[in-house]
Structure 1
Amino acid sequence: MSGATRVRQAALGDFAVRPRMLLITALALPIGALGALAAWALLRLIGLTTNLVFFWRWDTTLVAPGSGPHPWWLILGAPIVGGLIVGMMARYGSEKIRGHGMPEAIEAILIGGSIVQPKVAALKPISAAVSIGTGGPFGAEGPIIMTGGALGSMLAQLVHLSADERKTLLVAGAAAGMAATFNSPLAAILLAVELLLFEWRPRSFVPTVAAVAVGTVVRGFLLGDAPVFPVDATGLHLTPAIEVFAVAAGLTGGLLAIAATWLVYRAEDAFQKLPVHWMWWPAIGGLIIGLGGLVEPRALGVGYDVIDELLTGRATLSLILGILVVKTLIWSLSLGSGTSGGVLAPVFMIGGALGALEGTIFPAAIPGFWAMCGLAAVVGGVMRSPLTGVVFTLELTHAWGALLPLVIASTSAYALSVLLLKRSVLTEKIARRNLHLTREYSTDPLETFFVREVMTPLSHPASATADAECVRSSDTLRAVAYRFAETGKSSAAVVDETGAVIGRIDVQDLLHARRHDLTEEHRRSRILLAARSRNGRNAPGAGA
């Protein structure tokens, strides 16, 4: 095979991703429906467990444990029993059900080839229903992410796919479940991009959006298509003072996010030091939950009713303070026990409570406005996902006019979290499993240079031998790096469009792009003053 023929075949590879993308998108459509069904089933299962434990009735309606009077022994004992059941399920079923869902999904993507065991898909929602239904102050979204991701992974394992393609279907199922839980398709897509995909490429973005779209449509049939926490934004008038105070809301939200993250991992460290098997830790966490429930019963459970009161401005000061203190403590401390439950709903509640408290002294807007800012800020700080925090708040409330202050608050919290905290509540858990994860995305410098810019040219074009490793002069350095990695070669002949050899490229030449990237990042200069100084020296009569 001639060098020119091999070059032409390599060019055809640029289009190979397109039919694969369409195939993965087609597979993502039923996964989106399955993700929505999983979300509906888990919410019903949580409702059933809560009704059985706290109200002694058979009903699947989602209800808050603290919405009615209960004997003290039930409030104290139910979370302990629930934690014990979860611990036993984790020990004798699958340890993968421990945790709040997203780090487990990330770990499966990073080192597990995006392979999730079928028993995790079955045990995760059951353990979450037990944990939340017995009073655990957690959200349903983390387990739904893991369950939806498991369903996507299982379908992917039935088909001849690569690890990247399995990852796409895992994330598609997770995002579809998230979108169905909160009726928030755009936030679910952003969450997938910011936290799970580790790339922004058509091959993964298009199938994920397809799954989310199907999941949202199916959600409309199962749970309705109204906003989860509708806010009446009539009369919202933004002033410069409100925008300034949005910065303050963001900074305080960032501080709360840092404190909550710190508490989660100090609690995890404390549990690690206990002289008992980890199976018992969720029960000990349940004791913390029960004690907090005696102080503020409405801090128990998933808390959608409390979030609604905070975002619509109907929460009393005593409820705001109780949630801000008790919910933060019992959620942070019990999550460190390794029980099963999500982080988003508690973060919504804690952030909303902080904002509602600030709303008592900040400039008046609409009822619940500052609770919305607090929610966006704490999500941006805890999850390190500022755009997701903004879009979640808007899709939950449909208060679209609040966009700018939400962006300000969420970004301020994100900036403070980045400055003061090394890792987020998600990436810290990954780091503690001896894995490295970066959430910062930039253009690969190898993608910005062509072979012709770094190659060693030949004085006279030559013909390529049949077995020569060839690359095109118009290839990017990234394509060459992949070619070297695939073939094990460290050099290649460079050919032009006619197949004539015009140069040579070695693996060392690839460092040109990295050196340029380092220069762009670290070399600093004062351009305008330097130019003025040069012009002054070159002016007629200068130095006379």
Structure 2
Amino acid sequence: MLLRLIGFFTNLFYYHRISTQMLSPAENHLGPWAILVPVLGALVIGLMARFGSDRIRGHGIPEAIESILINGSRVEPKLAILKPLSSAISIGSGGPFGAEGPIIMTGGAFGSMIAQFFHLTSVERKTLLVAGAAAGMSATFNAPLAAVLLAVELLLFEWKPRSVIPVALASATAAAARFYILGGGALFPVPPHIAFAGGTALAACLLAGLAAGILSALLTAAVYLAEDSFQHLPIHWMWWPPIGGLVVGLGGLIFPQALGVGYDTIGALLQGDVPRNIILGILLVKSVIWAVSLGSGTSGGVLAPLLMMGGALGGLEAGWFQHIGITGLGVGFWPLVSLGAILGGTMRSPFTGILFAIELTHDLNMLLPLVIAAFTAHAFTVLTLRRSILTEKVSRRGFHLSREYAVDPLETLLVQDVMRTRLIALSSTNSIDDIRSALKQSHGPQGQQLYPVLDANGSLLGCVTRGELSRAAESGKFRSVTEITKPPEAPAHPDESLRAIVYRMAGSGSTRFLVTDREVKSKLLGLVSLEDLLRARTRALHEERTRERVLRIRIPFAEQSLK
């Protein structure tokens, strides 16, 4: 539907006719008047954002992330209409964007809207939101597995079956529906490349990945430089998109192929039949108008422009690599390598970039070159940029995301590893004087805050907090500690993981638990508190940062010669 809307507005704006056929704006005959078309489209978007919803601004993925983090995965139902409509107007009026970001946001809006009709938790709403987003991407590009990976790496932030399975099923369903509606096959079919490119070509993939990483960093910096520049303008943000539209119009006058989605240009790049002047135009003009327009806050996606610019970079590299003797790799080899690498570098999602490039072309022989190039680009941007083009916008609103998947240190440590066994325990026969003595022995900020109460046989009867002891000592109303003793909350056990204790603390509001034997419930073993969990975190940081040599090689002859 969105692609038909884009075709409708392209025909309306540039060819003054009613049709939903997908056409390139580059073939229009408006002459210099074509400069005004992106301005008009951007003006409409500014008005829609101002009086409809400002959530339509941007390329979709950061907005989806923000909905998950801030709004409990609640998306306004009107976004399901306004987002695709604004994106279709933006792209149809020449905006240098793709349809995938808006489709991701639109699919997420539908998923969230369905979830809001049912009695669900925030996590369950998130799953449905992300399922809708993944389905949208899968249907657009016929890339169901890459859509799942994108969802996991950028939206879910977890690999739990409760989330991944529904998202995967939604993505597969969307891909199957696309097959019945639009047919199967690769979106950008290419001739199969050789099964093994050879050592020299694989080494050259490192250079291609490095170049893609540099371009990724430059594009990310350019987008947010443009956004910062617009922030300093003394006008309302609704007027920023028309200014960006003017830059798009001027760029389109210089290089018409920079306008619109450009799927045909991407296909031509992968076929290896794009002239050098077109390649340079994409890298110089398309990149500039894309960065400025996106920074102005208009509506549109980033994946298709990144595919085009990555393909153009590869097309430029192909001639140079051929000049130094790296030949026989087949047409479109370097555009495809760079296409996947720039996705891995710009989005900080190398697995998504690799798989996306393969699913777009159905060329599994490109797996190894793509792995080398995508991870090289990813490494460069990790070293040079604090955040990706997708998460920088969210971080500017106060949410600094870490997408590093690792085993939680609290999951590998047990209560018995950190619990305190030296405790002050109170007897059931303790008097008020004994209470005062106990308080004096444990004064200070690190003093004991929870006191177990034992009977004459040393069995656990209950517990009492430091505050309760203080109030009892001051009031003088209690003769025995048993009068203020409470049964302990469900005690911890020495073989429990610290992560389980964290969840119990969060659920109960308590920051400390007594530790008892699992078999003999009344046998006290120690105490575990929030401070102990923090020490466990400190231990994990120490292991991560402290370097040591475990093995040493001794050369006996060298030692004898020194003597």
- TM category (shorter chain) comes to 0.7 to 0.9
What corresponds to 2:2 in structure 1? 42
Pick from 341, 346, 358 the counterpart of residue 305 of structure 2. Answer: 346
Pick from 319, 324, 346 the counterpart of residue 360 of structure 1. Answer: 319
Give runs of aligned pairs for residues 41-120 of structure 1, distance below 5 A.
Answer: 41-66=1-26, 68-120=27-79
What corresponds to 1:492 in structure 2? 513
1:60-115 Cα distance to aligned partner (Å, 9 max, x none): 2222111x242223421110000000000000000000001001001111111111
Pick from 415, 434, 443 the counterpart of residue 451 of structure 1. Answer: 415
What corresponds to 2:444 in structure 1? none
> Does the 8 Å contact 1:458/1:502 carry over to 2?
no
User: Aligned partner of 2:22: which letter?
Assistant: L
Give runs of aligned pairs for residues 204-243 of structure 1, distance below 5 A.
Answer: 204-235=163-194, 237-243=196-202
User: Aligned partner of 1:146: which letter?
Assistant: M
Q: Secondary structure at the match of 1:505?
A: strand
**Which deviates the most, 367-376 or 315-324?**
315-324
Q: Secondary structure at the match of 1:418?
A: helix
Gaps spanning 5+ residues in structure 2: where? 424-456, 463-486
Gaps spanning 5+ residues in structure 1: where? 1-40
- Quickly say closer, same or farther: Cα 1:144–1:463, change in 2 above 3 A: same
Give runs of aligned pairs for residues 195-210 of structure 1, distance below 5 A.
Answer: 195-210=154-169
What corresponds to 2:436 in structure 1? none
Structure ID, larger Rg: 2
The whole-number CA distance in structure 1 between the counterparts of 2:142 and 2:342 is 20
Give runs of aligned pairs for residues 172-321 of structure 1, distance below 5 A.
Answer: 172-235=131-194, 237-321=196-280
The whole-number CA distance in structure 2 between the counterparts of 1:63 and 1:508 is 64
- Quickly say closer, same or farther: Cα 1:129–1:488, change in 2 above 3 A: same
- Quickly say closer, same or farther: Cα 1:43–1:524, change in 2 above 3 A: same
> Does the 8 Å contact 2:14/2:28 carry over to 1?
no
> Does the 8 Å contact 1:457/1:502 carry over to 2?
no
Pick from 495, 501, 508 the counterpart of residue 480 of structure 1. Answer: 501
Q: Which runs of 4+ in 1 moved over 4 A?
A: 234-237, 457-461, 463-467
> Does the 8 Å contact 1:464/1:499 carry over to 2?
no
- Quickly say closer, same or farther: Cα 1:69–1:130, change in 2 above 3 A: closer
Greater fraction of residues in helix: 1
> Does the 8 Å contact 1:463/1:499 carry over to 2?
no
1:139-178 Cα distance to aligned partner (Å, 9 max, x none): 1111111101111111111111111111111111101101
Percent identical among aligned pairs is 53
1:217-257 Cα distance to aligned partner (Å, 9 max, x none): 11111222211001111545411111011000000111111
> Does the 8 Å contact 2:14/2:30 carry over to 1?
no
Deviation at 1:506, TM superposition (A): 1.9
Q: Secondary structure at the match of 1:60?
A: coil
What corresponds to 2:445 in structure 1? none
User: Aligned partner of 1:367: which letter?
Assistant: V
What corresponds to 2:544 in structure 1? 521
1:438 aligns with 2:402: yes
**Which deviates the most, 259-268 or 231-240?**
231-240
Pick from 375, 395, 402 the counterpart of residue 411 of structure 1. Answer: 375
> Does the 8 Å contact 1:236/1:366 carry over to 2?
no
1:121 aligns with 2:80: yes
1:416-462 Cα distance to aligned partner (Å, 9 max, x none): 11111121111211121122211222211111112232223599984
1:507 aligns with 2:538: no
Give runs of aligned pairs for residues 140-155 of structure 1, distance below 5 A.
Answer: 140-155=99-114
> Does the 8 Å contact 1:54/1:74 carry over to 2?
no
Q: Secondary structure at the match of 2:551?
A: helix
Q: Secondary structure at the match of 1:494?
A: strand
Q: Secondary structure at the match of 1:528?
A: coil
The whole-number CA distance in structure 1 between the counterparts of 2:241 and 2:64 is 21
* RCO higher in structure (CA 8 A, sep ≥6): 1
Alignment size in residue pairs? 498
- Quickly say closer, same or farther: Cα 1:232–1:464, change in 2 above 3 A: farther
The whole-number CA distance in structure 1 between the counterparts of 2:503 and 2:242 is 50
Deviation at 1:180, TM superposition (A): 0.8
What corresponds to 2:342 in structure 1? 378
Deviation at 1:387, TM superposition (A): 0.8
